[in-house]
């Protein structure tokens, strides 16, 4: 019986193709090492992948490692608010001259951070006349948001990472459709990957009512998205330029605690009335124009109405993303941590800090600062959770207190310093939020609201389990190996 070698040409073709990919991997590794501006940890993580996966490493990099063009992203925006930019520059000048005065004595303590943010070049302004409300429950947050939208008189601008095709998602879009039919200007921005489950017809009613909805960072090719590693993770809202929302809640039933796997969803979101809403508006309109080629929004006074709120809650809105020249939110985290003298309370679903943040936390602990970190007990990303536990174990060894939230899923992203200043937003305490995602955070310099945030943390502690060094040591070999391996690839998770 004769042996057939009909498969040989196919094998030879695959062998040639594999050799080509291997050569491309070598070239790419050289390029990553010497030409790309990446963190050393990220560089070596990619080199390891290219070394151990020589055939598919090149393809993986195209999807998950290729950087966005900063200049291209900046030039895409046709929007600019000259008044905010001018105010930011004026505040920076006054700080340097020693003539920058505010009503809050607490803000005076954090003048170096206020200056750092103003110097970022992103029109970050310090505002004093603001009134805040903190939400930790999704149902209450959405009830208030929907009420604000119902009362809108001019415009509603919303941006979310995830919008689900479920009860709460449909209710939101139906309400926006209703307001658009009333003549209210409605703009909705959602992340293309985060909201990938939405059907094509989901926004048809809104479009017919003259409202607009756009995906952020959409794929230019069907079924292929070479920018999949960069996501728009922001969750912000503006109503009439007077009311703003910023925090961690997305739009879906699970964020109301209706998911069987996660149960109660514990998150944190801010409602703002006052001058800081103008900063949120500025941020949203820049982002809108980076994605809206057919109908960009130009500067208009209607989006920045005069503010009547009189309060003493000083704050700034900061943003970061892969198109930014600096990792501004990470710099805020770092600066706040290094300024701590008494306490640092951190809540985050993912704890994968870079070396600078990790060292800053260690230094604070060794200096006698009470450092407490709270993470979820449940994992929605197995390798990310395992990597987080590895970092937390390291901090336990120098004296940190670590807690696992057991009353559902903890998705809050908060950092409270000395019960005097804090930050809330979309950014997790991980390298993805620092460099790869578009994020937005509010930084608040106010003792009363910071103390409220500290009380919320302590209340959550009552619903948590403290993780100890002995608990980590008693883990199985499999768990220990998984955590160590997950940490190796942490820079690209």
Q: Could you confirm whether 235 is annotated as catalytic?
A: yes
Give the model's confidence band at 291: pLDDT under 50 very low, under 70 low, under 90 confident, else very high: confident
Residues 235, 242, 282, 420: which is the catalytic one? Answer: 235
Please indicate, yes or no, whether residues 173 and 304 belong to a single structural domain of this protein: yes
pLDDT digits (tens, 9 = 90+) for 124-175: 999 999 999 999 999 999 999 999 999 999 999 999 999 999 999 999 999 9
Please indicate, yes or no, whether residues 60 and 159 belong to a single structural domain of this protein: no
Please indicate, yes or no, whether residues 181 and 52 belong to a single structural domain of this protein: no
**Nearest residue to 321 (alpha-carbon basis) of 413, 229, 189:** 229
Give the model's confidence band at 464: pLDDT under 50 very low, under 70 low, under 90 confident, else very high: very high
- Residue that finishes a domain, picked among 12, 33, 67: 67
Domain assignment present for residue 370? The answer is no
**Nearest residue to 87 (alpha-carbon basis) of 126, 113, 35:** 126
The neighbouring-strand residues paired with 224 are 221
Domain assignment present for residue 213? The answer is yes
**Would you state the pLDDT for residue 15?**
63
Please indicate, yes or no, whether residues 270 and 165 belong to a single structural domain of this protein: yes
> Tokens standing for 239?
């109503």
Domain assignment present for residue 60? The answer is yes
Residues 192, 240, 267, 354: which is the catalytic one? Answer: 240
Q: Could you confirm whether 233 is annotated as catalytic?
A: yes
Q: What is the DSSP-derived secondary structure letter of residue 209?
A: T
- Residue that finishes a domain, picked among 67, 87, 122: 67
**Would you state the pLDDT for residue 381?**
79
Q: Could you confirm whether 362 is annotated as catalytic?
A: no
Please indicate, yes or no, whether residues 150 and 284 belong to a single structural domain of this protein: yes
Please indicate, yes or no, whether residues 151 and 57 belong to a single structural domain of this protein: no
Give the model's confidence band at 27: pLDDT under 50 very low, under 70 low, under 90 confident, else very high: low
Please indicate, yes or no, whether residues 193 and 294 belong to a single structural domain of this protein: yes
Q: Could you confirm whether 282 is annotated as catalytic?
A: no
**The total number of residues written for the chain in this structure:** 493
Query: Which distant-in-sequence residues (6+ apart) come within 8 Å of 136 by Cβ?
Result: 266, 267, 268, 412, 456
Domain assignment present for residue 81? The answer is no
Q: Say how far apart CA 276 and CA 73 lie, in whole Å.
A: 25
Is the separation of the CB atoms in 255 and 262 below 8 Å?
Answer: no
Q: Characterise 197 by phi-psi region: left (phi > 0), alpha (psi -120 to 50), beta (else).
A: alpha
Please indicate, yes or no, whether residues 41 and 161 belong to a single structural domain of this protein: no
Residues 418, 430, 460, 482: which is the catalytic one? Answer: 418
Residues 164, 413, 420, 482: which is the catalytic one? Answer: 413
Identify the domain containing residue 215 by its residue range: 130-309
Q: Could you confirm whether 413 is annotated as catalytic?
A: yes
Domain assignment present for residue 284? The answer is yes
pLDDT digits (tens, 9 = 90+) for 351-394: 999 999 999 999 999 999 999 999 999 878 778 889 999 999 99
Please indicate, yes or no, whether residues 169 and 251 belong to a single structural domain of this protein: yes
Give pTM, 2 decimals. Answer: 0.86
The CATH number of the domain holding residue 211 is 3.30.870.10
Domain assignment present for residue 441? The answer is no
Residues 38, 157, 164, 233: which is the catalytic one? Answer: 233
Please indicate, yes or no, whether residues 177 and 299 belong to a single structural domain of this protein: yes
pLDDT digits (tens, 9 = 90+) for 60-111: 555 555 555 555 455 444 456 778 888 888 998 999 988 887 766 777 889 9
- Residue that finishes a domain, picked among 309, 324, 341: 309
Q: Could you confirm whether 411 is annotated as catalytic?
A: yes
Q: Say how far apart CA 484 and CA 445 lie, in whole Å.
A: 38
Please indicate, yes or no, whether residues 152 and 245 belong to a single structural domain of this protein: yes
Please indicate, yes or no, whether residues 160 and 291 belong to a single structural domain of this protein: yes
Domain assignment present for residue 381? The answer is no
Domain assignment present for residue 106? The answer is no
Q: How many domains does the chain have?
A: 2
Residues 38, 212, 278, 411: which is the catalytic one? Answer: 411
* Pairing verdict, β 185-191 and 155-160: parallel
Q: Say how far apart CA 428 and CA 435 lie, in whole Å.
A: 11
pLDDT digits (tens, 9 = 90+) for 438-462: 999 999 999 999 999 999 999 999 9
**Nearest residue to 143 (alpha-carbon basis) of 47, 22, 36, 271:** 271
């Amino acid at each position: 019986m004769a042996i057939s070698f009909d498969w040989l040409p196919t094998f030879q073709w695959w062998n040639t193709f594999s050799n080509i990919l291997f050569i491309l991997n070598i070239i790419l590794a050289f390029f990553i090492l010497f030409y790309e501006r990446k963190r050393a940890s990220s560089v070596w993580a990619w080199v390891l992948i290219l070394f151990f996966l020589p055939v598919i490493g090149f393809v993986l990099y195209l999807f998950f490692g290729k950087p966005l063009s900063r200049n291209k992203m900046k030039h895409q925006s046709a929007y600019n608010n000259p008044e905010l930019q001018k105010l930011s520059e004026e505040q920076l000048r006054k700080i340097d001259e020693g003539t920058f005065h505010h009503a809050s004595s607490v803000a005076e303590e954090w003048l170096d951070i206020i200056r750092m943010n103003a110097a970022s070049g992103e029109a970050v302004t310090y505002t004093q006349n603001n009134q805040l409300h903190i939400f930790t429950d999704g149902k209450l947050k959405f009830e208030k948001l929907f009420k604000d939208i119902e009362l809108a008189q001019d415009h509603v601008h919303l941006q979310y990472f995830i919008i689900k095709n479920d009860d709460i998602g449909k209710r939101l879009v139906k309400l926006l459709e209703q307001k658009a039919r009333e003549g209210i200007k409605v703009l909705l921005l959602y992340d293309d990957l985060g909201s990938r489950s939405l059907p094509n017809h989901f926004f048809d009613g809104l479009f017919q009512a003259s409202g607009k909805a756009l995906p952020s960072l959409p794929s230019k090719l069907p079924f292929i998205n070479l920018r999949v590693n960069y996501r728009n993770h922001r969750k912000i809202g503006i109503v009439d330029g007077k009311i703003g929302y910023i925090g961690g809640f997305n739009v879906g039933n699970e964020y109301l605690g209706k998911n069987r796997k996660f149960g109660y969803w514990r998150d944190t979101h801010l409602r703002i009335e006052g001058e800081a809403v103008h900063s949120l508006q500025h941020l949203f309109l820049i982002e809108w124009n980076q994605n809206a080629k057919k109908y960009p929004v130009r500067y208009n006074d209607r989006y920045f109405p005069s503010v009547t709120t009189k309060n003493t809650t000083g704050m700034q809105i900061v943003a970061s993303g892969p198109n930014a020249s600096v990792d501004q939110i990470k710099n805020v985290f770092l600066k706040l941590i290094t300024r701590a003298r008494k306490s640092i309370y951190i809540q985050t679903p993912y704890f994968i800090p870079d070396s600078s943040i990790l060292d800053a936390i260690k230094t604070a602990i060794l200096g006698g600062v009470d450092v407490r970190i709270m993470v979820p007990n449940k994992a929605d990303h197995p390798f990310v959770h395992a990597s987080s536990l590895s970092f937390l174990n390291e901090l336990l060894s120098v004296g940190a207190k670590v807690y696992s939230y057991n009353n559902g899923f903890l998705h809050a992203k908060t950092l409270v310093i000395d019960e005097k200043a804090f930050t809330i937003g979309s950014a997790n305490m991980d390298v993805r939020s620092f460099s790869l995602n578009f994020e937005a955070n509010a930084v608040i310099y106010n003792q009363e609201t910071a103390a409220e945030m500290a009380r919320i943390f302590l209340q959550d502690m009552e619903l948590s389990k403290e993780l100890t060094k002995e608990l980590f040591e008693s883990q199985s070999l499999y768990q220990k190996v998984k955590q160590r391996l997950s940490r190796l690839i942490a820079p690209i998770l």
